[in-house]
Structure 1
Amino acid sequence: MSQTAPIRSHRKPRQSASKLALRAGVAGGVLSTIAVAGAAGPANAEPLTEKTLEMPTLGSLDADLASAVSASAEASQQEALDQSLAAQEKAALEKAAKDAKKAKAEADRKAEAEKAEKARAEARERASRTAARTTLSAKSSSSADAVGGSSSSSQVATGSAAAIVAFARAQVGDAYVMGGTGPNSWDCSGLVQAAYRQAGIDLPRVSGSQSSMGTSVSLSNLQPGDVLYWGSRSGSYHVAIYVGGGKYVGAQNPSTGVVERSLDWDMPSGAVRIL
């Protein structure tokens, strides 16, 4: 190196005064702007460094969303269940109303049928009684008494006996009912008691007491209106009314009802005369 060559200095070159002035002006402007902004803000504003904004985490958002979805699903399911139950209740009510209407119609039909059958049965019964009375009244006399052999003229009922016999015969065809006292069903002593009431005579209610009334008579000397009995006189189990011509009328049993039969069909044990 030449001794005369210039030696480069290691010092940093000085900046010119104009550049320094420019930098100072810029810095001053920035500081002034910051000062103005601070003065314009709220007096009690907190430094940004002293307040931290809390943001929801991703986990809490997922939990809230899942809860909302679950609640919505449950509400939809409950609504569907309520609608299903309402539909079932409506269907059940409609079916019950339909069944009730059908049952009522069937009951009405049966009631009408039973009413019509009852009317026909009553008509047949009246016709049968009318025919029986006509046949009996046409017989002015009969052959000798089947038991006593007395003449037919002695078997014609008169006075109170006629009323008793006529009432008893009018009930032929009625039903037999234990304890029955009329007007359409009888037991044996109920019929005898009612027949004697036509003659103004009150008899006891049961057969044993009825057969103990009046005077005992022979079966060969019977007259219309006499009370026939089966068993002992004071302990009879069945009674009937002798109507003449060797016949009697009595409420026999549930299968036959009130009938007029010949004495030899079921021979009585004895008889009493109360008239």
Structure 2
Amino acid sequence: MSHTAHIPSHRKPRRSASKVSLRAGVAGGVLSTIALAGAAAPANAAQPVTETIEMPTLTGNLATTAAATVQATKTVAADLQLQAAQDAAASSAAKDAKKAKDDAEQKAAEAKAKAEAAAKAKAAAAERASRSAERTTLSAAASTATSTFKASNATGSAAAIVNFALAQVGKAYVSGATGSSAYDCSGLVQAAYRQVGVDLPRVSQDQSATGTQVSLSNLQPGDILYWGSSGSAYHVAIYVGGGNFVGAQNPSTGVVERSLDWDQPTGAVRVL
């Protein structure tokens, strides 16, 4: 038996090839440093080296990994930038589409409103035309009725007074006027009676007290109608028959033919 058989072994485990290479590189670098230091130092300063500097050595695999990482980062950044541009373009297109839709809806609403307004205006015009035609028909009927009445009932001086009064319808009202293009109420009555040689007082107050007072239910063509009290009337007109009178009413209407129901007189006088 060997004299070392019972002595435990102090051998260290084997290192991997990469670690051995790394240490060899470091050791080489240290030895080179020591050699340079020894050559530079003076002969009498030769002392043992107590500090060492380890110089890390980068392997080729580490540099390749770093380059790959940088490239990957650039690729991700480019993808994110492209995605942001696409999102912005989509958002802009959506806004443009919404604006176009809103504009189209607004134009459609405006066109509909214009069409409805045009339809209303057309209907209103048709209604006005219908009312105008109806008034024309009624006016013609009234004129025919008046003409028939004059031919059958108004005779002599009364017919002359009535025909004159009707001929003045449509002329202007002017205060103080007595014809022939304008009248006030008493001026028209005075001018009508002058056609048959009767000279009436000039003003309505005096005309309302001339002749004989008659009931409104017993009127005859040519009678003088008055509004207010006898002797102090404020308005006069001529009864033309058929429930109508002719009078110079006011500056707005001029000389008109109206129904007694339109403005009921207070009384009447008969001069003829």
TM bracket, shorter-chain basis: 0.3 to 0.5
TM superposition score normalised by structure 2 = 0.47
